[in-house]
């Protein structure tokens, strides 16, 4: 079978691999559509924090597919079912797992990093890690269930967002766009901030979703706050930038008594001045990964048409030239590129 294989820093190849062997407790899934996310891009550059990944490695962890075979011990799924996988596999036995916090399991394993991923034609999965996708949700749309689950956790579980709140989402990357879309679905007044490089593709994408945008390099965000935020700042600010300055800016733009939710993973330490945080009684929270419930919430949002998956996703890249997708992503020339394996 054809596979996209990470072979070194900024180096990926198309290779032939053996079709995986099905165990008695496994489900064999034919991959339909697989997405490229920020962690894939960081792994591609092999930057600090990702150099533990053994190479070569088949990449990819967010996808949709169809069950084509089940092991003799599998009763939850059958051939023909449409599914998505929870790619962060918890151990089920550590303190966090037993405490209802499997998303921060001490011994987690990530598909596409700890083991070969889904940028290929077939993959085997344990039934406990699969979610059923109704026929009413096209598989191309279902491929964003995993990143959407991260957004649902950030908004529904980790934030205080309610209808009518003013919300700033810093960063128009895939997670930022999805966080904005989920907050918008709640009836919040959302604005997404980006940089000049985001004005060609990502910020216009957000605007097509009916959500306001701000280019912080040229627009006056302070004037925007004065016009839109009665409390002297946003009720909730989500930092999805993955840059250490994101949290510092969030503190500047949130109102006193408001909340900052950090979703992105800064690659360097932040020099956060805590005095205004304490004096303003600003709540700082974090959000990492997702849970089974967040996946189910995401599937329901897609099924209800609350998330415009077709607008958010980009089908213009081919598995025959995956490097183009990765480089375009790093240059902010796309937001959520997808690889289609359905016609192989």
Block residue for tokens 């405490």: 99
> How many distinct helices (H) and strands (E) make up the chain?
12, 18
Helix extents (H) in the chain:
38-45, 95-98, 139-142, 145-152, 174-185, 202-208, 221-228, 244-253, 275-279, 292-303, 309-312, 322-330
Cβ neighbour number for residue 44 with a 10 Å cutoff: 24
Cβ neighbour number for residue 47 with a 10 Å cutoff: 12
- Of the candidates 91, 48, 113, the one whose C-alpha atom is nearest the C-alpha of residue 266 is 48
Asked if residue 245 lies in contact with residue 253, where contact means CB atoms within 8 angstroms, the answer is no
Residues 6+ apart with CB under 8 A from 160: 235, 236, 259, 283
Catalytic residues: 39, 42
């Amino acid at each position: 079978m054809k596979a996209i294989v990470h072979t070194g820093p900024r180096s990926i190849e198309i290779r032939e691999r053996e079709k995986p062997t099905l165990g008695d407790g496994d489900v064999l899934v034919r991959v339909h559509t697989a997405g490229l996310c920020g962690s894939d891009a960081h792994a591609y550059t092999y930057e600090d924090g990702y150099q533990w990944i053994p190479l070569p490695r088949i990449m990819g962890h967010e996808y949709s597919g169809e069950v084509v075979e089940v092991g003799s011990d599998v009763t939850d799924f059958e051939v023909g079912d449409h599914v998505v996988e929870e790619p962060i596999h918890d151990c089920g036995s550590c303190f966090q797992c037993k405490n209802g916090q499997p998303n921060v399991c001490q011994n987690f394993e990530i598909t596409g990093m700890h083991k070969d991923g889904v940028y290929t034609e077939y993959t085997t999965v344990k039934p406990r890690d699969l979610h059923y996708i109704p026929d009413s949700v096209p598989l191309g749309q279902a491929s964003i269930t995993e990143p959407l689950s991260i957004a649902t956790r950030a908004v529904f579980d980790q934030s205080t967002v309610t209808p009518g709140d003013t919300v700033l989402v810093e960063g128009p990357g895939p997670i930022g766009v999805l966080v904005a879309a989920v907050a918008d679905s709640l009836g919040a007044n959302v604005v997404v901030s980006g940089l000049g490089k985001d004005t060609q593709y990502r910020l216009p994408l957000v605007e097509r979703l009916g959500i306001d945008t701000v280019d912080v390099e040229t627009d006056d965000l302070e004037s925007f706050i004065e016009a839109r935020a009665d409390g002297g700042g946003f009720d909730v600010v989500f930092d999805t930038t993955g840059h250490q300055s994101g949290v510092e800016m969030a503190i500047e733009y949130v109102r006193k008594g408001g909340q900052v939710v950090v979703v992105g993973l800064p690659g360097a330490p932040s020099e956060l001045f805590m005095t205004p945080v304490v004096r303003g009684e600003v709540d700082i929270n974090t959000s990492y990964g997702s849970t089974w419930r967040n996946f189910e919430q995401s599937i329901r949002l897609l099924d209800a048409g609350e998330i415009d998956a077709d607008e958010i996703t980009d089908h213009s890249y081919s598995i025959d030239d995956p490097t183009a997708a990765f480089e375009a992503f790093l240059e902010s020339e796309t937001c959520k590129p997808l690889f289609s394996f359905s016609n192989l």
